[in-house]
């Protein structure tokens, strides 16, 4: 009976949907539910985010303010810090952060807090969809077992699935609605409800046999990327040693129409997935007495890349008979990827902190990022511009490529350039230094 009633609500778009966590995953998902005709309640512990949304302002670049205002004006969206709203909901999507602690182990405190709130306020039969990236077993071990201990039973009081987020901030081609949605239900009834719901909102739904398979699929995706990025970063260092241009080498290999996928070197890895997800898998593997060497090696290579960047800067300055200490250096691009304002786990932050420790005089320019915090918790203000007077600096370091940057002006004015993004592909200028050999 509970299944039939909830299924009917979902199919008739009368189900009330809650989104716990209104960040880069939760807010776009909330707007998609609104666009599909569901009434959505956004829940977040951050009062500033909640106030911003309720005033029609967006803090996510992929979500225009007009989208938020339309959702508010249609009375299909409201944001709150009050978890008691859970008692009135039919569906809850959990999109809370899952960071690593200082020991590079999973910090599941946000999910534990969410489970406690769900236990406290769960009233109607509730479809719960965990989207936060986590280790295999979390859905069953943390959520289902906790609910059972508190007297809540699956297929009666709740239905439970894991459905990994696959958000790629700044990607105009693939967004929440168009990215295939993987779903692994705790029970067949859970999977059926989740499929009915997401099929009303997103373009494609992919069912798998268990939450563990869905959990593992997300970690496999991003561990694959981490390992291949590490591989190409190491190849870049090898090519540099051998005097071979790795960029031209990759382009040549990429002409093969099968069996090869191009990855490109850079200052490291950043964002909410690539630096973290492999460590979730590594941690869970160790619990099962399995030690994944690929993950260990790739993490070591990628996390050491910012130090390689600093070495490259030092070498470039030395060639001009300038020491790294007291050198005036401008870092161009601090976001973790192109054309966004997200600095989470950005390798540019590590480059900044290493250079600061070594006594360089630093300035940062990024048209998207207003400021960030260094390793000591001090706020660093950023020049938010497409260009500046690069001639006043001893070295210009390009760490993130942004489409609106004036790279010709940067080339004309800079005395020395360390190009980590292969901006100047065919330039013969002796002022340009880049990783991976060649000029």
Could you report the per-residue pLDDT of 19-35, keeping only the tens digit for each? 999 999 999 999 999 99
- State how far the Cα of 126 lies from the Cα of 260, in Å rounded to an integer: 45
Cα dihedral value 94, 184, 206, 337, nearest 10: 50
Span 118-139, pLDDT tens digits: 999 999 899 999 999 999 999 9
pLDDT band at 102 (very low <50, low <70, confident <90, very high): confident
Tokens of 76: 């299909």
Tokens of 102: 């200082």
Tokens of 48: 């500033």
For tokens 């540019």, the residue is 348
- State how far the Cα of 72 lies from the Cα of 5, in Å rounded to an integer: 28
- State how far the Cα of 217 lies from the Cα of 213, in Å rounded to an integer: 6
**Strand runs labelled E in 282-394:** 328-332, 361-365, 371-373, 379-381
Cα dihedral value 384, 389, 393, 394, nearest 10: 130
Tokens of 135: 């280790």
Rg of the chain in Å (alpha carbons)? 24
Span 348-407, pLDDT tens digits: 999 999 999 999 999 999 999 999 999 999 999 999 999 999 999 999 999 999 999 999
Cα dihedral value 383, 387, 392, 393, nearest 10: 70
Backbone angles phi, psi at 329, to 5 degrees: -125, 135
3-state SS class at 24: coil
429 C-beta neighbours (distance < 10 Å), count? 10
At residue 208's C-alpha, the angle toward residues 17 and 2, to 5°, is: 40
Model pTM score: 0.93
Cβ-count burial of 143 within 10 angstroms (0-12 exposed, 13-18 middle, 19+ buried)?
A: buried
The catalytic residues are 273
**Mean pLDDT, the chain, as a whole number?**
95
User: Quick one: pLDDT at residue 171?
Assistant: 85
- Domain architecture of the chain: domains with CATH: 2-209 (3.40.50.720), 225-434 (3.40.50.720)
> In terms of Cα–Cα distance, which of 333, 296, 305, 299 is closest to 236?
305
- State how far the Cα of 217 lies from the Cα of 204, in Å rounded to an integer: 16
DSSP 404-431: TS-HHHHHHH-S-EEESS---SS---TT
Span 253-262, pLDDT tens digits: 999 999 999 9
Strand arrangement of the beta sheet that strand 77-80 belongs to: 77-80, 39-43, 16-20, 91-94, 126-130, 158-162, 181-185, 205-208
Please name the residues in contact with 91: beta carbons below 8 A apart, sequence gap of 6 or more: 10, 15, 16, 17, 18, 126, 127, 128, 129, 197
Span 394-415, pLDDT tens digits: 999 999 999 999 999 999 999 9
């Amino acid at each position: 009976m509970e299944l039939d009633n909830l299924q009917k609500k979902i199919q008739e778009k009368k189900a009330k949907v809650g989104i716990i966590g209104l960040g880069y995953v939760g807010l776009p998902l909330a707007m998609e539910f609104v666009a599909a005709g569901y009434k959505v309640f956004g829940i977040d512990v951050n009062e500033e985010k909640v106030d911003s949304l309720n005033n029609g302002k967006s803090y996510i670049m992929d979500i225009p303010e007009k989208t938020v205002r339309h959702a508010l004006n249609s009375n299909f969206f409201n944001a709150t810090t009050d978890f008691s709203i859970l008692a009135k909901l039919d569906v809850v999507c959990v999109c809370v952060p899952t960071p690593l602690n200082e020991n590079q182990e999973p910090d599941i405190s946000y999910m534990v807090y969410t489970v406690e709130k769900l236990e406290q306020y769960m009233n109607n039969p509730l479809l719960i969809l965990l989207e936060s990236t986590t280790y295999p077993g979390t859905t069953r071990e943390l959520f289902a077992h906790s609910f059972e201990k508190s007297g809540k039973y699956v297929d009666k009081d709740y239905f439970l699935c894991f459905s990994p987020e696959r958000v790629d901030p700044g990607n105009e081609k693939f967004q929440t609605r168009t990215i295939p949605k993987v779903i692994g239900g705790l029970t067949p009834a859970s999977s059926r409800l989740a499929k009915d719901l997401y099929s009303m909102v997103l373009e494609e739904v992919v069912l798998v046999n268990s939450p563990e398979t869905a959990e593992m699929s997300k970690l496999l995706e991003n561990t694959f990327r981490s390992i291949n990025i590490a591989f190409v970063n190491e190849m870049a260092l090898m090519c540099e040693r051998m005097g071979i241009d790795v960029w031209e080498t990759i382009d040549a290999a990429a002409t093969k129409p099968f069996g090869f996928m191009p990855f490109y070197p850079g200052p490291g890895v950043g964002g909410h997935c690539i630096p973290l997800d492999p460590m979730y898998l590594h941690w869970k593997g160790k619990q099962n007495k399995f030690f994944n060497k690929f993950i260990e090696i790739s993490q070591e290579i990628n996390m050491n890349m910012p130090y390689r960047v600093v070495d490259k800067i030092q070498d470039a300055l030395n060639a001009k008979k300038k020491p790294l200490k007291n050198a005036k250096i401008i870092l161009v691009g601090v976001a973790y990827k192109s054309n966004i304002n997200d600095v989470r786990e950005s390798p540019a932050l590590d480059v900044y902190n290493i250079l600061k420790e070594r006594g360089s005089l630093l300035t940062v320019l990024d048209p998207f990022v207003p400021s960030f915090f260094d390793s000591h918790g001090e706020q660093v203000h950023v020049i938010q511009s497409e260009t500046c007077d690069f001639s006043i600096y001893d070295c210009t370091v390009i760490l993130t490529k942004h489409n609106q940057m004036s790279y010709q002006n940067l080339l004309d004015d800079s005395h020395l350039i360390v190009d980590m993004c292969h901006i100047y592909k065919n330039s013969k200028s002796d002022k340009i230094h880049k990783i991976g050999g060649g000029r």
